[in-house]
Structures are given as C-alpha cells and as structure tokens.
C-alpha cells in the first residue's frame, strides 16, 4: 500500500473513531491503526450468480431518508452503494428521500444498487407499487425488487414469476427476490428449487447462522446462485453486562479494538456466502463505525466466536428466532406470534417504540383482543428458544398500543 493510501486510511480511520466518540449510541471503533489489516476500499462480493458485485455493507433505509442527505452522501462516498428501502418505510418518506438524493446527484444512480419492496400479493398491486416507487425515487429502474416479508415458499407462485419476468423485460427491474423475517430457512430452501429467484434478504446473525436448517438453506441458495443479504445482524441489540459471559465477551472485543456491534457484523461476514449486510444507519456515528468494521480485515478468533455462541445460548430466551410455524400452529386463532415478537424487538432492543407500535396496531383489533385470552402453554413447550410467549404477548398488548 502506498504511503498516500496509508495516510488516507489512517485519517479516515481516526475520523471514524472521533465521530463515533461524540456522544454516540455506538461506541467508537478505536483499534489502533494497523494498515495491513485495513482496506481503503469497501470490499465487494458477488451477488449470487447475477454477475453483479455489491459492497459487503448496505444502507438500510427504514428511516426518513429525506432527513438523512448527509448520511446518504457520505455512505455513497465511502462505497456503501447498495441501498435498501421499501414502499412502506416511514409512509413513503424513505423512498422520497432517496428520490431527493438522486435528483441532486443523478450521476450517482448508475453506481447504486437500489432495492425496494412491496407487500402487495397481487400482480396488479405489485405493478402499482413498483410504478409508485420508481416515481418517488426518480429512477427508471430498480436493481432488485423484493416481495416483502414472505412467510412460506408457496407464496412464490407462477403468477408472481410471470410478473417478475414481464417487469424485467420492460426494464423496470433488473433482478427479483424477496425478504423474509419468519420461517426463513424454509422460505430459502423452497426458493432455491424455483430457479427464478435472484436475491433474498433474511434475518441472519450470530444466533441464527449456526442452526442446521439455516446452514442447509444458505448452502442450497448458494448452489442455486441466489444472492444473499443478511439483516437484523445485531441479533436483538447490544450485549448487556448482566452475566460473567457478557462481561467477558464485551471486554474481550474491546481489548481487540471492536465494539460488540462490530464483532457481530464480522461474525456474519465470515460466512463467504453472504454477499452483504443490510444495516440501518440513521446517523454518521453508526455509518462510520460500520464502515470501519467493513474495511478492517481482522477476523474474529475461534475463542471470540465461541464466546459469541455461548452468549447466544445463555440469552436465547430473550431472542425470537422467527420460526413462527412452530409456535403459531400450537395456539388457537391466527395470532401472529412471530410478528409480535419482532415488533417488541423494535421497541425494546432497537429503542424504536414508534416503529414497533405502528406495526403492532396494524394487527386487526379482533386478533389483538384474542391475543389476551389465548393459552400459550403449548406454544411455549415447543419454542426452541424457551421464550415466555404468554408473558411477552401480554407485554406487547400494554407496551405497543
Ligand atoms: S416465539 Fe419461539 S417458536 Fe415462536 S417464532 Fe419465536 S423462537 Fe420461534
């Protein structure tokens, strides 16, 4: 590496540490400068067999991006050129903010891998949503269009396939796939057999990535040439310091120069089959800490990976793994236990009660009424994470209203 590059890297690195230290929610990445362990470019990985390469860090836009022009600009400049949004995020303000950016910097569009999503389950609804997304984001095409929150592979039927092919032929989308928060392994394994899914974004983190189901699903998708993006990589928020393992874990990472948040990103990047991590980065602090982690080449040691797994095991009853088929089939009615657990996670672990509450209140009132009366003991007996489902459903009814 040339001296000039070294200076650039060191300056960027120190900037990351300095900004992150300014009263931030994420602690600074303050590993002492060691040029051999850093890259001065955002690393890229192939996105399945699409022929495209994407940065290993992507910008999660489930926020009002119209208020985040600085972060978007700096993300672009630092190589975070994969941007993820959805037509529903912040009531459309996420897409509109990206449109505002692209209007100001139209030449950046070609370098941005732009993803958006729709919840519509009819082809007419998908067409309407896609056109609205194009208009809001002031672009002629979406690089990757997702069906949002697929819960079972059967939802990906022939009509959806024909719609995706038609929109590709029209040049409105380049690639098609889906996001999934529930029953992820089943959805991914099913998709790997279809032959027309280009990309998937799924919950994936140090808690979920080691299960046999998830390993098999990732392998099957990789063999099928599907590009994979991991989301929810923090696995339920920051490491607390309640137990001996937690203290050991957080302390060990800090000794190595990482925060636990950065270590969790590294754990996911160690899987070569994951093309990118989608991370919500609402401010410069988190952007710079994540960029620093992406550019640093240091790997977690076997001991650190073992500690993370031990921590995941000890705290498993605090984290819903999204295997909703298991618990929801054990209770009467249509209680969306997996979704409610996710909304609680937004409120409690992501410190975003508005987001959790907004989504919770979309559950029909009759189901919310039913939620209070149902017997959850059968579901609790089946839950692999040993979660106190009954108590948590009641908590949601009081915390998320
Ligand atoms: S509550 Fe338990 S069984 Fe239900 S989705 Fe979460 S981890 Fe799976």
Query: Strands 173-180, 57-60: parallel, antiparallel or unpaired by DSSP?
Result: unpaired
pLDDT at residue 252 in the model: 79
CA 237 / ligand 1 centre spacing (Å): 18
| Among candidate residues 150, 134, 137, 158, the one with its CA nearest the CA of residue 199 | 150
Separation of CA 326 and ligand 1 centre (Å): 7
Cα(319) to centroid of ligand 1, in Å? 8
Predicted confidence at residue 6, as pLDDT, reads: 34
Residue-level pLDDT at 67: 86
Mean local confidence (pLDDT), 36-61: 88
Ligand 1 atom 3: residue of nearest CA: 383
Q: What is the pLDDT of residues 302-355, one digit of tens each?
A: 988 988 898 899 888 989 999 999 999 999 989 999 999 999 988 888 777 888
pLDDT for position 333:
86
Q: Rounded to the nearest whole angstrom, what is the distance from the C-alpha of residue 338 to the centroid of ligand 1?
A: 6
Separation of alpha carbons 100 and 66, rounded Å: 7
**pLDDT tens for residues 114-146?**
999 999 989 999 999 999 999 999 999 999 999
The least confident of 79-88, 217-226, 344-353 is 344-353
Model confidence over 90-111: pLDDT tens digits?
A: 999 999 999 999 999 999 999 9
Q: Note the pLDDT of residue 238.
A: 61
CA distance 211 to 180: 17
Q: How does pLDDT run across 343-362, given as a tens digit for each residue?
A: 998 888 877 788 889 889 99
Q: Which of 309, 212, 229, 213 is nearest to 273 (CA)?
A: 229
Q: How far is the CA of 212 from the centre of ligand 1 (A)?
A: 17
- Alpha carbons 141 and 187: distance in angstroms, whole number: 26
Residue owning the nearest CA to atom 1 of ligand 1 = 320
Cβ < 6 A, ligand 1 pocket: 320-324, 326-327, 337-338, 341, 383, 385, 387, 389
C-alpha radius of gyration, the chain, whole number: 21
Question: Hey, how many other C-beta atoms are within 10 angstroms of the C-beta on 350?
Answer: 15
CA distance 245 to 241: 8
User: Which token pair is 246?
Assistant: 């937690």
Mean pLDDT of 61-75: 90
- Distance CA(246)–CA(345), nearest Å, equals 19
Pocket mutation for ligand 1, best pick of 327, 343, 381 (most atoms within 8 Å of C-beta): 327
DSSP 257: T
pLDDT (mean) for 15-35: 35
Mutate to test the pocket of ligand 1, among 184, 185, 322, 328 (most ligand atoms within 8 A of CB): 322
Ligand 1 atom closest to the CA of 382, numbered from 1: 3
Looking from the CA of residue 322, the nearest atom of ligand 1 is 5
Q: How far is the CA of 86 from the centre of ligand 1 (A)?
A: 25
Which one, of 40, 45, 66, lies nearest residue 57 by Cα? 45
Closest ligand 1 atom to 324 CA: 5
Quote the crossing angle between the two packed helices 244-256 and 302-314, to the nearest 10°: 150
- Section 4-8 average pLDDT: 34
With H, G, I as helix, E, B as strand and everything else as coil, classify residue 8.
Answer: helix
DSSP H or E segment with residue 147: strand 142-147
Distance separating alpha carbons of residues 282 and 62, to the nearest angstrom: 9
DSSP 110-153: GG-EEEEEE---SHHHHHHHHHHHHHHHT-S-EEEEEES---SG
| pLDDT mean over 353-377 | 92
Q: Would the pLDDT of 370 be above 90?
A: yes
Rounded mean pLDDT, 148-165:
96
Instruction: Convert 264-296 into a string of H (helix), E (strand) and C (coil).
Output: HHHHHHCCCCCCEEEEECCCHHHHHHHHHHHHE
Q: What number does the ligand 1 atom closest to the CA of 182 have?
A: 5
Percent of the chain predicted with pLDDT > 90:
71
Question: What mean pLDDT is reported for the chain?
Answer: 88
SS3 173: strand
What confidence tier does 237 reach under pLDDT thresholds 50, 70, 90? Answer: low
Give the Å distance between the CA of 230 and the centre of ligand 1.
19
Q: What is the pLDDT of residue 35?
A: 47
| CA-nearest residue, atom 8 of ligand 1 | 323
Residue 22 has pLDDT above 60, yes or no: no
- CA 320 / ligand 1 centre spacing (Å): 5
In this structure, the number of other CB atoms found within 10 A of the CB of residue 333 comes to 12
328 C-alpha to ligand 1 centroid (Å): 8
**Dist. CA 200–CA 33, nearest whole Å:** 35
In order, the DSSP letters of 2-33 are -HHHHHHHHHHHHHHHHHHTTT-SS----PPP
Q: Whose CA is nearest to atom 2 of ligand 1?
A: 383
Which ligand 1 atom is at minimum distance from the Cα of 328? 4
Q: Return the residue whose CA atom lies nearest to atom 6 of ligand 1.
A: 320
Compute, in angstroms, the gap from residue 391 CA to the centroid of ligand 1.
13
Q: How far is the CA of 307 from the centre of ligand 1 (A)?
A: 23
- Substitution candidate for ligand 1 out of 235, 320, 343, 395 with most atoms within 8 A of CB: 320
Testing ligand 1's pocket by substitution, the residue of 312, 316, 337 carrying the most ligand atoms inside 8 A of its CB is 337
54: three-class secondary structure by DSSP: strand
Predicted pLDDT at 239: 58
């Amino acid at each position: 590496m040339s001296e000039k590059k070294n200076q650039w890297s060191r300056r960027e690195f120190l900037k990351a540490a300095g900004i992150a230290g300014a009263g931030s929610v994420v602690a600074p990445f303050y590993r002492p400068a060691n040029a051999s362990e850093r890259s001065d470019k955002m690393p890229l990985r192939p996105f399945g067999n699409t022929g495209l390469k994407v940065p290993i860090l992507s910008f999660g836009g489930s926020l009002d991006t119209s208020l985040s022009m600085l972060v978007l600009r700096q993300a672009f400049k630092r190589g975070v050129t994969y941007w993820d949004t959805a037509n529903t995020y912040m009531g459309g303000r996420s897409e509109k903010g990206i449109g505002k950016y692209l209007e100001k910097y139209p030449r950046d569009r070609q370098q941005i891998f732009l993803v958006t999503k729709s919840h519509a389950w009819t082809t007419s609804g998908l067409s309407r949503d896609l056109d609205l997304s194009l208009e809001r984001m002031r672009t002629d095409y979406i690089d990757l269009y997702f069906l949002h929150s697929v819960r079972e592979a059967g939802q990906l039927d022939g009509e959806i396939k024909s719609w995706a092919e038609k929109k590709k032929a029209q040049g409105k989308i380049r690639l098609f796939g889906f996001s999934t928060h529930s029953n992820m392994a089943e959805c991914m394994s099913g998709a790997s057999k279809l032959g027309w899914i280009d990309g998937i974004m799924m919950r994936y983190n140090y808690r979920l990535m080691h299960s046999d189901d998830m390993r098999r699903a990732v392998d099957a998708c990789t063999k099928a040439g599907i590009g994979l993006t991991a989301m929810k990589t923090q696995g339920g928020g920051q490491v607390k310091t309640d137990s001996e393992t937690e203290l050991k874990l957080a302390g060990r990472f800090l000794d190595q120069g990482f925060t636990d948040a950065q270590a969790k990103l590294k754990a996911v990047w160690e899987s070569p089959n994951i093309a990118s991590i989608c991370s919500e980065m609402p401010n410069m602090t988190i952007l710079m800490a994540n960029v620093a982690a992406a550019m640093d080449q240091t790997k977690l040691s076997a001991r650190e990976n073992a500690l993370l797994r031990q921590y995941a095991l000890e705290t498993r009853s605090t984290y819903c793994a999204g295997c909703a088929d298991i618990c929801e089939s054990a209770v009467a009615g249509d209680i969306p236990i997996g979704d409610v657990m996710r909304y609680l996670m937004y409120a409690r672990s992501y410190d975003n009660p508005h987001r959790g509450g907004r989504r919770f209140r979309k559950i029909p009132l009759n189901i919310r009424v039913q939620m209070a009366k149902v017997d959850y003991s059968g579901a609790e007996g089946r839950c692999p994470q040993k979660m106190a489902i009954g108590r948590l459903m009641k908590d949601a009814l009081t915390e998320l209203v």
